[in-house]
Amino acid sequence: MNSMSVDRSVWFPWMRRALQLASLADGFTSPNPLVGAVILDPTGKLVGEGYHLQAGKPHAEIIALQQAGDKAKSGTLIVTLEPCCHHGLTPPCTEAVINSGIKKVIVALEDPDPRVSGSGLQRLREAGLEVIDDVLKAEAAYQNRAFIHRVRTGRPWGILKWAMSLDGRIALSNGLSKWISTKESRDWVHILRAQCDAVIVGGETLRRDDPLLTSRGKCNPEPLRVVITRTLNLPLEANLWDVDVARTLVAFEADSAKSRIDKIPQGIDRLPLKSLEPISLLENLAQRKNCNRILWECGPALAAMALKQKCVQELSIVLAPKILGGSPSMSPLNEIGVTSMDKALCIESTELKSYGSDWILNMLIPPLNSDDA
Amino acid sequence: MNSMSVDRSVWFPWMRRALQLASLADGFTSPNPLVGAVILDPTGKLVGEGYHLQAGKPHAEIIALQQAGDKAKSGTLIVTLEPCCHHGLTPPCTEAVINSGIKKVIVALEDPDPRVSGSGLQRLREAGLEVIDDVLKAEAAYQNRAFIHRVRTGRPWGILKWAMSLDGRIALSNGLSKWISTKESRDWVHILRAQCDAVIVGGETLRRDDPLLTSRGKCNPEPLRVVITRTLNLPLEANLWDVDVARTLVAFEADSAKSRIDKIPQGIDRLPLKSLEPISLLENLAQRKNCNRILWECGPALAAMALKQKCVQELSIVLAPKILGGSPSMSPLNEIGVTSMDKALCIESTELKSYGSDWILNMLIPPLNSDDA
């Protein structure tokens, strides 16, 4: 069928419902995408819905089909992502859709996974089903920006978070940083962590702040806590060493740190890297730890390095109505190589919300935004 | 009369009108306060209004009385500030009010000027007029916060302004700062300057940025441009030396700078100070230059000193959606002596507006706020 002639907007309300369903599992599906599905019977009545909860568990379409049962026959499937046509941890969804007797499939986004990438839609069309694609495509791509980024680049989507005063300080000159922000915005940070697969700090943050880095129970399992340390100068006692609360991984430079490896406590994952750089760490977290999205909660040196290596796609800034003044090192970012104002990293769209007396600013980093989402 | 029994709220609408009138001269009345007045005839009909335009020109009450003429007889005067009862540059307003036949006077705020300070209201009451005071007192005090602060402390109200990136930078590490903010917010800074009697920078800002520091014609005369310089290391050519555009004053330490005084160009005001500190400069600007309100547009060292010496009562921060990263010295404020988070300068109420893609945050500095306004 000529997709130019299709009025996609009639499907927007149901696709919004499917996107809503998908979002219920935000933070839990890695390395898989978020997917939501809705099934209508031939009269247009809702007879099934579902969303993908976790890798290895049934896909959204399957849950919705099971709920609909025979009522799916000659009906319509509305799904946020192209149904898979390969055997992964679960059998291909395309076959289940075809076998159910569904006649029409409405899809938001083609699956960027090279094992699918349009061939799921092709399989459905070849089986005689009517397929309408690109319905609310931009919304669906935004919802799955982390998954898409990981599939395309081999690295998880990076969020860089900092809390700063009105004069741009992330700590006092004596190093104290607890607490710049209010309890309300710290609660919000716990929610942000729950949406991420790993939270990364540098050794300096570990030594100075002894952070807990959990979502405070807002997700289970807790995100992986990662320390990236060149010196392996690690404290004997630290909240991160309590692996009953959450898993912890220490990343270090393989060659330079051999003599100090025994400084890593028992029970902690070890990740030796050839080159101790943000980009190597993220590639490893994508491949070995199934991370779609990670959170940088680090100091200015590591944050600047992560930005320069394009390991940051999104910024979350907590702005607290306080004035601290003070010394140089306590600003959010070290040098990122901006030498003239027209080379500044300019952010076009920003979301601003108030939490208690703080504001929280969320924004996408534009260069990677236009390439990847 | 027992003021507890008075329903002041019936006068709010007219007092708001008087406050509106007063605000029309914002930035032009120094060293005088802003004052607006409204006159109603005995039936409650508006018969005159006026506001104080400039020191030496008629007071608001007089303009309103002239407009009302005979219709003021047995009428009501609504005025934002207690009428004066002394001979200043103009005769006392109390006598003009009494002679006009006005029977009732509604006042927002007692004049903090020690020459008035309640005796104007007393004079009116003694002459048999009904006086209702404290009507929208807080609004009136906020409107005249600069005047009140100057009368109470002998120093003009200080506004500290900076434009910074999302990572708290006011310039690049190579010193470039043009332009962090958008044209829209720079236009807003011109309006802010127009509301101030003087704009102050340090020698370093003069050398680095060669600023113009005018309102771009938004007020006439332009605010006084002030350079505070310890070294008197002044450029030969600078926008500030063009006194056809606006007056310029150079403040320097009297003793240490004797040999370099000839570095100050001809036509520029010279202000030798015993001690080159923000507080001495402001006392001089209040006494010699009639300043009620000044704007600090300086670098981090002078800004921190001004804050520490309580020469800043209000902050205006332009927040640009840009990331610069970089070196230490380019943050808004040097040390201000905050050594623990509970001693941070906490700001309770903040106004946030968007200008182009920038945000502008306006807020009062709380310690002085509670003491002085």
Q: Which residue of B has its CA nearest to A165?
A: B168
C-alpha–C-alpha distance, residues B45 and B42, integer Å: 7
Tokens of B134: 């404290």
Q: What pLDDT does B4 receive?
A: 60
CA of residue A357 relative to chain centroid, distance: 27
Contact B325 A317 (CB under 8 A): no
pLDDT of residue B354: 81
Q: What is the pLDDT of residue A370?
A: 36
Residues 6+ away with beta carbon under 8 Å from A17:
A36, A38, A49, A78
Residue A20's pLDDT is what? 98
Question: Rounded to the nearest 10 degrees, how much is the dihedral formed by the CA atoms of A307, A311, A316, A317?
Answer: -20
d(CA B205, CA B208): 5
Q: What is the pLDDT along chain B (373 residues), one digit of tens a residue?
A: 445 678 999 999 999 999 999 999 998 999 999 999 999 999 999 999 999 999 999 999 999 999 999 999 999 999 999 999 988 777 899 999 999 999 999 999 999 998 889 999 999 999 999 999 999 999 999 999 999 999 999 999 999 999 999 999 888 878 788 888 889 999 999 999 999 999 999 999 999 999 999 999 999 899 999 999 998 999 999 999 999 999 999 999 988 777 888 889 999 999 999 999 999 999 999 999 999 999 999 998 999 999 999 999 999 999 998 888 876 547 888 877 788 878 888 887 678 888 788 888 888 887 533 333 3
CB-based burial, B61-75: b 16+ in 10 Å, e otherwise = bbbbbebbeebbeeb
Judge residue A347's burial from the number of C-beta atoms within 10 Å of its C-beta, 0-12 exposed, 13-18 middle, 19 or more buried.
Answer: buried
B 249-308 → A contacts, CB under 8 A: 304, 307
pLDDT at B66: 97
What is the β-pairing status of strands B345-346 and A322-323?
antiparallel
Interface test with B, best of A161, A162, A166, A183 (most B CBs within 10 A): A166
- Closest-CA distance, B373 to chain A, in angstroms, reads 20
Say if CB B90 and CB B63 are below 8 A apart: no
Chain B residue nearest residue A338, CA to CA: B324
The helix (H) or strand (E) run that includes residue A96 is helix A93-100
C-alpha distances (whole Å) from A337 to each of A308, B221, B341 are 8, 43, 31
Of A172, A178, A333, the CB nearest to B323: A333
* Helix segments in B69-136, DSSP class H: 93-100, 119-126
Which of B165, B327, B333 is the closest to A167 by Cβ? B333
What would the DSSP string read from start to end of B130-174? EEE--TTHHHHHHHTHHHHHHHHHSS-EEEEEEEEETTS-SS-TT
Q: Do A348 and B357 touch (CB under 8 A)?
A: yes
DSSP 8-state secondary structure symbol assigned to residue A176: -
**C-beta neighbour count of B205 within 10 angstroms:** 19
Chain B residues within 8 A of A312 when measuring between CB atoms:
none
DSSP code at position A192: H
The DSSP result for B188-248, as a single string, is HHHHHHHT-SEEEEEHHHHHHH----S-TTSSSSPPEEEEE-SS----SS-GGG-TTTS-E
Nearby residues of B289 by Cβ (< 8 Å), 6 or more positions away: B197, B198, B224, B249
Q: Cβ B324–A337 below 8 Å, yes or no?
A: no
Chain B hits for A160, Cβ within 8 Å: none
Q: How many CA atoms lie within 13 A of B41 on its CB side?
A: 9
Q: ∠ at Cα A59 (A57, A65), nearest 5°?
A: 120
Phi-psi region of A157 (alpha: psi -120 to 50; beta: other; left: phi over 0): beta
Q: Cα-flanking dihedrals φ and ψ of residue B170, to 5°?
A: -105, -5
B171-200 residues touching A, CB cutoff 8 A: 172-174, 176-180
The Cβ of residue A308 has, within 10 Å, a number of other Cβ atoms equal to: 18
| pLDDT given at position A367 | 54
Residue of B nearest to A363 (CA): B321
| Cα–Cα distance for residue pair A276/A257, rounded to 1 Å | 11
User: Which sequence positions of B are flagged as catalytic?
Assistant: 61
- Measure B165 CA to nearest chain A CA, in Å: 9
Q: Which of B164, B165, B341 is facing A180, going by the closest CB pair?
A: B341
CA nearest to B45, candidates B87, B76, B22 = B76
Identify whether the C-beta of residue B148 lies closer than 8 Å to the C-beta of residue A310.
no
Nearest CB partner across the interface for B350, out of A177, A321, A345: A321
Question: How are strands ordered across the β-sheet holding B76-81?
Answer: B46-51, B36-40, B76-81, B104-109, B130-132
Model pTM score: 0.88
With an 8 Å Cβ cutoff, is A315 touching chain B? Answer: yes
Q: Which residues contact B321 (CB under 8 A, 6 or more apart)?
A: A346, A347, A348, A350, A363, B166, B357, B358
pLDDT along chain A (373 residues), means of 10: 74 98 95 97 97 94 97 98 87 94 98 92 97 97 96 96 91 83 92 96 93 94 96 93 96 84 91 94 97 95 92 93 76 80 78 82 66 37
A335 touches chain B (CB under 8 A): yes
Question: Strand B157-165 and strand B293-296: pairing?
Answer: parallel
Cα separation of B167 and B173, whole Å?
13
Measure the CA–CA gap between B83 and B93, rounded to whole angstroms: 6
